[in-house]
Amino acid sequence: MPITTAPPTAKVYFVNLNDGDTVASPVTIVMGLSGMGIAPAGIEFPDTGHHHLIIDAPTPPAGQVIAADVNHIHFGKGQTEVMLDLTPGPHTLQLVLGDRNHVPHKPAVVSDVIKITVR
């Protein structure tokens, strides 16, 4: 499977959360993107992708399909916001932009890992 390229200036980020935040569940997560556009999974269009939220797991490996499980949430319809029930306690969150096949771009478009605490 060919790797989809991304502009080197593309960035994904959390719009409403910061490292160290304490939040209540359900947690609203707003996902931002600059330097590229959002397209649903399966749609081939230059400089686009869709969000994946990584919860309490390491960054997915380059060149491989991002897993789909409780730690890897796919937003293949092009969603940019979600409300999630998270258990109380500390959690790590990271955003990864995936191409039409759920594979990270090259270079990878990933956010910093942030730590939040759910009360």
For 30-63, the DSSP string reads EEEEESSEE--TT---TTEEEEEEEESSPPPPTT
Q: Is 103 helix (H, G, I), strand (E, B) or coil?
A: coil
- How far apart are alpha carbons 118 and 89 in whole angstroms? 5
Percent of the chain with pLDDT over 70: 99
| 91: helix, strand or coil | strand
Q: What is the pTM of this model?
A: 0.96
Q: What pLDDT, on a 0 to 100 scale, did the predictor assign at position 2?
A: 77
Contacts for 115 with CB less than 8 Å, ≥ 6 apart = 19, 20, 90, 91, 92, 93
CATH number of 11-118: 2.60.40.10
- Indicate the domain borders of the chain: 11-118
In which band, very low, low, confident or very high, does the pLDDT at 1 lie, cut at 50, 70 and 90? Answer: low
